[in-house]
Amino acid sequence: MDVGHLVQTIAIFALPVLFAITLHEAAHGYVARHFGDLTAYAQGRISLNPLRHVDPVGTIVMPLAILLLSGGNFLFGWAKPVPVNYSALRRPRRHMAWVAAAGPGANLAMALAWALLFQLEPWMPEFLVRVAAAGIHVNLILMFLNLLPILPLDGGRVVASLLPARAAWQYAKLEPWGLPLLVLLLVTDTLGKLLWPLVYVSESLLR
């Protein structure tokens, strides 16, 4: 990839990636506050200001590196995790499912917002059209990735909240293996084969 194309790719994806990752985390904090946990609120983490959520490596370096290495086909990254006090939730097990689902839900909302902007294509500069397309792409990837039923991903948290207490406890013991499993799925391209059909179909519906 030449320098010009590299700079252009970073310029197109930078804003969608930043908002996709950081507002995902803010959504967790907002829903946690709604259900009684004020931890994130007290730390100023319920904010639409991305700077409050940025992790320099996880939010900027890692996702852009993966996007570039994958030719724009894959994304993985993280923001500073929003603190959630499980015991402060009014109904901890039930409400934790909603807190976990809020992140992917925020990505879906952002994908729809970028899709609305994309519909203005005839009246927008080409650069903004490409940014809107990147916003759809990035948010769909993060949404489907985080819905995988693997702890510590949000999908895993939802599953743990829905299982009977004993089964949930046994399931939670698998969490230390979650990240190695994700890395294995990524390097063997299994993750891409799982997610890409979902992203492709969803993207075709939104554009």
25 is catalytic: yes
**78-125 pLDDT per residue, tens:** 778 888 898 999 999 899 999 999 999 999 999 999 999 999 988 999
Q: Which of 25, 121, 126, 175 is catalytic?
A: 25
Lowest mean pLDDT among 2-6, 37-41, 63-67, 128-132: 2-6
Q: What are the backbone dihedrals phi and psi of residue 177, each rounded to the nearest 5 degrees, phi first?
A: -90, -5
N residues, the chain? 207
pTM of the model: 0.88
CB 142 within 8 A of CB 75: yes
* DSSP secondary structure, 99-146, as one string: HHHHHHHHHHHHHHHHHHHHTTGGGS-HHHHHHHHHHHHHHHHHHHHH
Q: Tell me what pLDDT residue 70 has.
A: 67
46 falls in which pLDDT band (50, 70, 90)? confident
41 falls in which pLDDT band (50, 70, 90)? confident
Q: Tell me what pLDDT residue 153 has.
A: 93
